[in-house]
């Protein structure tokens, strides 16, 4: 991914499939996620240990050095084992074995001093690229350090119980019977958090549609959209279908729910998720910016617009965001969001409600976006979100990463008066 810009998930899944045991797959995932989570700190440590930078052709050895440093600094792997295994992995380049051995042992000998030096650097201290750290400090000056700390933790595994099929307390009982410890999350009536994450195959009734994996912050969308019997609803950027399914679970007797996604492969995932849960929707592949190709012209009473964004609220789940995202991406994403909001708004029926959401924590993508939109549309009325969760913004409401264990999410509710 450092070469071709692929996401960690896309890069890691093929490698995991080649490993023979769950234990090896789990260890590989831990190494990759952890190294990327602390990439900027580990890179600064490594620079102190090098006499000259790596050549591009030796990126593999650079990555091995980072993996070795991560194991020494952040895991319970015995230091001698971390060094030995890292060195052994360089078998294909004989010169690299003594090099890695020397680098890692140098860190072991002077670890305390190296760490002190890195702690004086903002990137090294927080594990975040400087541009992103400055954005967080600008948008959330009183919360930036806490947000960085939350981003550097492992996210919990949260479930959404399908209450059409099973009560929450009943499902917690099923988990206990399967030797899985869990507790209800108070801010959402369907949310259950596992003490330890597990593969979905171990979840009782998962394949039968009793439960889905969905962070608590994402579960607010279905309630905020307030879909009622007889309503026509559009989930405008629906894949992989978690919010689509939740709307159907809590809002019976809809006239129709249209789940739209521009990517055909991702649209297939919507159908698969709905089939697993025993739910039905009109799943379409289409571009929100080209409604003539898929829209019949009938207005929607409710629209959920969960937009593509910087994903800066879910870094703890996707630490590669810190490495892959660039400052210039934010303006491009903001423009895309602006265009998609305009398109969705044109499909909203009079007196309809649109819920705007992102998993970003940046003002440019969130409350500033809504403020600009309202300035240019006199028929827009914001419906304030009154709640115990999140922080009230000039427009909408922001959940910061780590609040009650949740991911970072932004929501705003907009009503069309005419």
Sketch out the chain's domains with CATH numbers. 38-127 (1.10.940.10), 158-213 (3.30.70.1170), 217-416 (3.40.50.150)
Identify which of 139, 135, 183, 138 has the alpha carbon closest to the alpha carbon of residue 159. Answer: 183
Please give the positions annotated as active site: 359
Contacts of residue 182, defined as CB under 8 A and 6 or more positions apart, other chains included, come to 159, 172, 175, 176, 192, 193, 194, 195
CB-based burial, 76-99: b 16+ in 10 Å, e otherwise: ebebeebbeebbebbeeeeebbeb
CA-CA-CA-CA torsion sign (141, 146, 150, 153):
positive
Confidence of residue 12 (pLDDT cuts 50, 70, 90): confident
Both tokens of 137, joined, read 């400090």
Q: Given the structure tokens 């970072």, which residue do they identify? A: 408
Both tokens of 242, joined, read 């978690």
In this prediction, residues 80-95 reach a mean pLDDT of 93
The reported pLDDT for the residue numbered 1 is 58
User: Cis (ω within 30 of 0) for the bond into 130?
Assistant: no
Cβ atoms < 10 Å from Cβ of 172: 18
pLDDT digits (tens, 9 = 90+) for 170-207: 999 999 999 999 999 988 999 999 999 999 999 999 99
| Residue 155 scores a pLDDT above 80 | yes
pLDDT digits (tens, 9 = 90+) for 113-151: 999 999 999 999 999 999 999 999 999 999 999 999 999
| Burial grade of 342 (CB within 10 A; 0-12, 13-18, 19 or more) | middle
- 3-state DSSP assignment of residue 54: coil
The reported pLDDT for the residue numbered 10 is 81
Alpha helices in 216-326 (DSSP H): 220-225, 242-250, 264-277, 321-324
pLDDT digits (tens, 9 = 90+) for 240-269: 999 999 999 999 899 999 999 999 999 999
Do the Cβ atoms of 272 and 242 come closer than 8 Å? no
pLDDT digits (tens, 9 = 90+) for 358-381: 999 999 999 999 999 999 999 999
Q: Cα–Cα distance between 41 and 106 in angstroms, integer?
A: 17
The reported pLDDT for the residue numbered 2 is 67
DSSP, residue by residue, 297-330: SPPEEEEEEE-----TT-TTT-TTHHHH--HHHH
- 3-state DSSP assignment of residue 392: strand
Of all residues in the chain, the percent with pLDDT exceeding 70 is 99
Do the Cβ atoms of 409 and 357 come closer than 8 Å? yes
List the beta bridge partners of residue 380: 416
Question: For residue 12, what is the enclosing H or E element?
Answer: helix 8-17
SS (H, E, C) 141-208: CCCHHHHHHHHCCCCCCEEEECCCCCCHHHHHHHHHHCCCCEEECCCCCCEEEECCCCCHHHCCCCCC
Both tokens of 118, joined, read 């890195």
Q: What is the pTM of this model?
A: 0.94
Q: What is the dihedral of CA 231, 232, 236, 239, to 10 degrees?
A: 80
Question: For residue 258, what is the enclosing H or E element?
Answer: strand 256-261
Of all residues in the chain, the percent with pLDDT exceeding 90 is 89
DSSP 8-state symbol, 52 = S
């Amino acid at each position: 991914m450092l070469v071709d810009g692929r996401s960690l998930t896309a890069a890691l899944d093929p490698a995991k499939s080649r490993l023979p045991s769950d234990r090896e797959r789990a260890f590989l995932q831990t190494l990759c996620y952890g190294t990327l989570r602390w990439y900027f700190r580990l890179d600064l440590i490594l620079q102190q240990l090098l006499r000259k930078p790596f050549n591009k052709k030796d990126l593999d050895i650079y990555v091995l050095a980072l993996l070795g440093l991560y194991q020494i600094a952040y895991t319970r792997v015995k230091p001698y084992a971390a060094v030995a295994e890292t060195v052994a992995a360089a078998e294909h380049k004989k010169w690299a074995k003594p090099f890695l051995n020397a680098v890692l042992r140098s860190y072991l000998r002077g670890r305390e001093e190296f760490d002190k030096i890195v702690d004086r650097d903002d990137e090294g201290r927080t594990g975040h690229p400087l541009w992103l750290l400055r954005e967080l400090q600008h948008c959330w000056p009183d919360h930036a350090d806490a947000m960085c700390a939350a981003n550097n933790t492992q996210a919990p595994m949260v479930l959404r119980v399908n209450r059409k099929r099973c009560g929450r307390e009943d499902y917690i009982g099923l988990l206990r019977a399967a030797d899985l410890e869990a507790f209800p999350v108070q801010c959402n009536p369907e949310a259950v958090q596992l003490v330890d994450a597990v593969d979905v195959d171990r979840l009782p009734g998962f394949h039968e549609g009793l439960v889905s994996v969905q962070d608590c912050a994402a579960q607010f969308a279905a309630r905020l959209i307030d879909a009622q019997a007889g309503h026509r609803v559009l989930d405008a950027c629906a894949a992989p279908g978690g919010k689509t399914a939740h709307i159907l679970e809590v809002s019976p007797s809809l006239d129709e729910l249209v789940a739209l996604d521009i990517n055909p492969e991702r649209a297939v995932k919507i159908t698969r998720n709905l089939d697993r849960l025993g739910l039905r929707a009109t799943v379409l592949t289409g571009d929100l910016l080209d409604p003539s190709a898929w829209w019949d012209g009938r207005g929607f009473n409710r629209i959920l617009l969960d937009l593509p964004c910087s994903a800066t609220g879910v870094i703890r789940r996707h630490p590669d965001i810190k490495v892959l995202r660039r400052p210039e991406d934010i303006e491009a994403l903001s423009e895309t969001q602006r265009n998609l909001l305009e398109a969705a708004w044109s499909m909203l029926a009079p007196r309809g409600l649109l819920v705007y959401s992102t998993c970003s924590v940046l003002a440019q993508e969130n409350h500033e976006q809504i403020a600009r939109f309202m300035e240019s549309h006199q028929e827009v009325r914001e419906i304030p979100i009154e709640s115990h969760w999140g922080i009230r913004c000039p427009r909408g409401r922001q959940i910061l990463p780590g609040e009650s264990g949740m991911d970072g999410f932004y929501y705003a509710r907009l009503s069309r008066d005419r």
